[in-house]
């Protein structure tokens, strides 16, 4: 081979690559810092599980297998590329004999290498099929993707040609240690030595040059994820999935007139920018997004790509604000540089507000992403800027904000009505029974909504039937602030959180049982940031436990088929799928049906992310109607859920579909119906 050409290629290619990486890292340093290097052991464990073992890719059968072949093939063939770089200087280079033919290590590696060369070729054919023949709608079908696949295949065939020509030239015959190369060698037998020498050189330089070309295509293409995916998985948030990033010292930021939320691209943290780099454009996020699937403007994939493209397009302006790459936000930057303050805000100049307000914060996009890109935190942080700095938000949210601020609930009902649902049930207050074992956190919906009150009554009746020592807060209970936080009103959320934490810490309940998954998630996952660490259990889990322990025994038969709907904040955010199903299956005569879109792929009802309190963004259909259709496909007699918000959306959906023949019931209501005998007038005592 030619050492001069090899040196020129290596120095040139790695030099250009180094410059491109410097530019990408420089952009990452623009925003605020973020610590993602804690709990190293847990991070390494998750990196192995999700980056190397490709756990999330297993959800897609052929694509997952093909991707695993290519990923593992790249890891295995990295050593091969290094060996070939060395052979540019010494034709028999094998890391000083360690990987030479005839040695155990050399023959073992050669065998594995050949197996993965074949597997990578097969895998690239799978992805070419998806792009050229099947043309999956969720994917970005560009020439770039095909080019990369052809480069990968050419590298593999170049490697086989190099090995095969060498074996034919030496008349080595077939060898188990190099099966694929041996096959090519057998095919080339009888070819003259000069031709074989040319073919070996072609195979060698094709592999080497394409590896270096591929390396330099990565930072300027969607395949940058080959470099950034493993770091992005390592740097994933270790906080509970249902916990949004906290805004520290919010009052101090207001006093110092600092930006609240994300207004500009340079305010994304380095991890936020790494997310943009890591997008593979596979479209799995958008494929599962309820907003996108109902024709709204929001597409998680497109939002990520738009932010990435905006970042790249404004690179000179962003890094030109300061010689060391740190963005400055004041006028009077160094002469010849454009101060960052002149950069347009992302919303509405670049991102339409409708994109942000269409998000239900269901988390389907993040559950689906194989490289742990986050979307909800970015959307909510942009909402925070709109709400707290610009007072720009859907008009309907004003009533919800005002209600939470003045009456501690989104509907502005007087606090004196909070315990109105208890009439006739003799439910004690924590102020009367501060040592109660269980605090029943009712939530705003179950306290004030006439239909949801039946959930609270059923739950309380079941607790009493099981002799659970419980009490409620009554007027002391306030909205947890979940709708405010998801809508971007972080200041209001923190105010409510601090007041609730103070109340709860005063009573120090051993266990808190909630009916609402949103309350459950906030109390369990977000209140610890404000000094409130509690044992919080959702009522579906608590009731399931009571049934298992024999403290509740369903006996009344309910002969019906029920389709169960998973709440996003119960399922995707907190992995609670089985308890409500176990409770339903314990009821005699009840058959539990599963819609095709179920468990962590169950579609959102459309109420999350404060959507419950605003008009849905314009689209082809309403989210709750599409979800209702999915549930009705199972041909149920009734639909069950474990969330007051979900219940309201599904009742409206059934009504809109003229399916009043299909009832909507909470798990607690069905369980109580199976336990409590009817009164003389045929009504349940919890009705």
Whether residue 273 sits in one domain with residue 156: no
Q: Rounded to the nearest 5 degrees, what angle is found at the Cα of 56, between the Cα atoms of 53 and 57?
A: 80
Whether residue 445 sits in one domain with residue 297: no
pLDDT recorded at residue 321? 59
In Å, how far are 30, 448, 512, 519, 542 from 537, measured between CA atoms?
Answer: 41, 22, 6, 10, 6
Whether residue 555 sits in one domain with residue 519: no
Is 525 domain-assigned?
yes
Q: How many domains does the chain have?
A: 4
Calculate the CA dihedral of residues 678, 680, 682, 684 and round it to 10 degrees. -40
In Å, how far are 127, 365, 423, 598 from 247, measured between CA atoms?
Answer: 42, 23, 40, 33
Are 523 and 561 in contact, with CB atoms under 8 Å apart? no
Whether residue 217 sits in one domain with residue 172: yes
**Burial of residue 76, with CB atoms counted within 10 A of its CB: 0-12 exposed, 13-18 middle, 19 or more buried:** middle
Whether residue 571 sits in one domain with residue 538: no
Scan for tokens 């579909």, then name that residue.
657
Question: What pLDDT digit, counting tens, does each position of 216-270 carry?
Answer: 999 998 889 999 999 999 999 999 999 999 999 998 888 888 899 999 999 999 9
- Is residue 154 helix, strand or coil? helix
Whether residue 502 sits in one domain with residue 420: yes
Is 317 domain-assigned?
yes
Q: Which domain holds residue 451?
A: 396-544
Domain with 300 in it: what CATH number? Answer: 1.10.1060
pLDDT recorded at residue 343? 58
pLDDT recorded at residue 231? 97
Rounded Cα gap, residues 455 and 514, in angstroms: 11
Is 682 domain-assigned?
no
Is 373 domain-assigned?
yes
Whether residue 579 sits in one domain with residue 450: no
Helix axes 453-465, 539-548, angle to 10 degrees: 30
Are 501 and 530 in contact, with CB atoms under 8 Å apart? yes
Domain with 25 in it: what CATH number? Answer: 1.20.950
Whether residue 605 sits in one domain with residue 516: no
pLDDT recorded at residue 679? 54
Is 235 domain-assigned?
no
Centroid of chain to Cα 181: 42
Domain with 439 in it: what CATH number? Answer: 3.40.50
Whether residue 200 sits in one domain with residue 303: no
Whether residue 566 sits in one domain with residue 536: no
pLDDT recorded at residue 560? 97
Whether residue 356 sits in one domain with residue 463: no
Rounded Cα gap, residues 470 and 468, in angstroms: 6
Is 38 domain-assigned?
yes
Whether residue 177 sits in one domain with residue 106: yes
Average pLDDT by consecutive 10-residue portion of the chain (687 residues)? 91 97 95 93 97 88 88 93 94 88 92 96 92 78 84 95 92 87 92 93 95 94 92 97 93 88 95 96 94 97 95 90 45 39 78 97 96 97 97 97 97 96 96 97 97 98 98 98 98 98 97 98 98 98 98 96 98 97 97 97 97 96 98 98 98 97 98 80 51
Residue 439 φ/ψ, nearest 5 degrees: -100, 120
Burial code (b: 16+ CB inside 10 Å, e: under 16) for 141-175 equals: beeebeebbebbbbbbbbbbbbbbbbbbbeeeeeb
Rounded Cα gap, residues 338 and 316, in angstroms: 9
């Amino acid at each position: 081979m030619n050492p001069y050409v090899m040196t020129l290629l290596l120095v040139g290619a790695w030099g250009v690559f180094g410059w491109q990486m410097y530019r990408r890292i420089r952009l990452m340093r623009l925003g605020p810092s973020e610590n993602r290097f804690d709990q190293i052991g847990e991070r390494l464990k998750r990196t192995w599980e999700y980056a190397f073992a490709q756990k999330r890719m297993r959800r897609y059968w052929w694509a997952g297998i093909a991707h695993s072949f290519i990923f593992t093939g790249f890891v295995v063939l990295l050593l091969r590329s290094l060996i070939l770089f060395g052979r540019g200087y010494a034709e028999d280079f094998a890391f000083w004999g360690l990987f030479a033919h005839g040695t155990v290590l050399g023959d073992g590696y050669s065998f594995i290498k050949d197996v993965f060369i074949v597997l990578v070729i097969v895998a690239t054919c799978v992805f070419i099929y998806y792009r050229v023949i099947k043309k999956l709608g969720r994917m970005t079908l560009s020439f770039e993707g095909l080019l990369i696949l052809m480069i990968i295949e050419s590298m593999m065939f170049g490697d086989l040609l190099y090995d095969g020509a060498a074996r034919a030239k030496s008349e080595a015959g077939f060898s188990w240690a190099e099966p694929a190369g041996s096959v090519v060698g057998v095919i080339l037998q009888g070819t003259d030595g000069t031709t074989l020498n040319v073919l070996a050189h072609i195979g060698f330089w094709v592999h080497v040059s394409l590896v270096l070309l591929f390396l330099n295509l990565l930072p300027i293409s969607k395949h940058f994820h080959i470099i950034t995916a493993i770091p992005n998985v390592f740097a994933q948030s270790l906080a509970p999935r249902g916990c949004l990033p906290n805004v520290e010292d919010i009052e101090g930021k207001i006093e110092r007139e600092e930006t609240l939320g994300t207004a500009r691209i340079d305010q994304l943290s380095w991890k936020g920018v790494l997310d943009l780099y890591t997008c593979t454009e596979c479209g799995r996020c958008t494929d599962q997004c309820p907003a996108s699937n109902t024709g709204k403007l929001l597409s998680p994939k497109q939002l990520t790509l738009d932010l990435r493209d905006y970042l790249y397009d404004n690179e000179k302006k962003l890094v030109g604000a300061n010689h060391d790459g740190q963005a400055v936000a004041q006028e009077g930057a160094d002469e010849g540089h454009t101060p960052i303050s002149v950069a347009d805000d992302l919303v509405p100049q670049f991102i339409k507000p409708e994109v942000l307000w269409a998000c239900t914060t269901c988390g389907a996009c993040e559950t689906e992403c194989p490289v742990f890109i986050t979307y909800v935190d970015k959307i909510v942080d942009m909402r925070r800027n709109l709400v707290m700095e610009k007072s720009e938000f859907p008009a309907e949210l004003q009533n919800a904000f005002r209600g939470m601020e003045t009456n501690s609930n989104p509907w502005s009902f007087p606090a004196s009505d909070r315990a109105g649902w208890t009439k006739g049930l003799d439910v004690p207050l924590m102020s009367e029974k501060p040592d109660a074992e269980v605090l029943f956190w009712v939530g705003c919906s179950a306290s004030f909504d006439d239909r949801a009150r039946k959930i609270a009554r059923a739950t309380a009746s079941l607790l009493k039937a099981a002799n659970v020592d419980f009490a409620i807060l009554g007027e002391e209970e306030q909205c947890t602030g979940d709708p405010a936080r998801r809508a971007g009103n972080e200041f209001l959320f923190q105010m409510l959180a601090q007041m609730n934490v103070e109340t709860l810490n005063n009573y120090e309940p051993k266990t808190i049982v909630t009916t609402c998954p949103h309350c459950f998630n906030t109390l369990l996952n977000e209140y610890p940031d404000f000094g409130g660490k509690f044992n919080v259990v959702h009522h579906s889990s608590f009731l399931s436990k009571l049934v298992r322990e024999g403290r509740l025994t369903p006996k009344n038969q309910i002969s019906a088929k029920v389709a169960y709907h998973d709440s996003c904040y119960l399922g995707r955010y907190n992995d609670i799928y089985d308890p409500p199903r176990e409770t339903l299956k314990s009821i005699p005569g009840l058959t539990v049906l599963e819609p095709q879109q179920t468990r962590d792929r169950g579609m959102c009802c459309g109420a999350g992310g404060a959507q419950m309190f605003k008009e849905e963004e314009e689209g082809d259909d309403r989210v709750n109607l599409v979800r209702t259709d999915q549930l009705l496909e199972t041909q149920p007699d009734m639909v069950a859920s474990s969330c007051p918000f979900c219940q309201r959306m599904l009742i409206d959906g059934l009504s809109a579909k003229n399916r009043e023949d299909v009832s909507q019931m909470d798990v607690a209501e069905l369980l109580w119906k199976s336990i409590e005998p009817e009164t003389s007038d045929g009504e349940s005592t919890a009705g």
